[in-house]
Amino acid sequence: MTDDAVPPLIDSARVLHYAIVDAAVRPAPKGKIFANGDEAGAVPRLAIVRNHDGGGG
């Protein structure tokens, strides 16, 4: 898989939407990204996934 290839699964959750975040993407002024309850800050990739049980990822 190349660096820009979209993975079909992440940690056994199906990828629904995937974005590569580069200098052309500006964060929303009030938007924040959290991972495991902690603010993640800037990220190079963003994925919206669905777990096998149907819940959000």
Report long-range pairs for 36-45 (Cβ below 8 Å, ≥24 apart): 44/20, 45/18, 45/19, 45/20, 45/21
Predicted local confidence at residue 57, as pLDDT: 47
State mean pLDDT over 37-54.
Answer: 83
Residues 50 and 16: beta-carbon distance below 8 Å: yes
Given a cut of 60, whether residue 55 has pLDDT beyond it is no
How far apart (Å, rounded) are the C-alpha atoms in residues 45 and 4?
9
Tell me what the pLDDT averaged over the chain comes to.
80
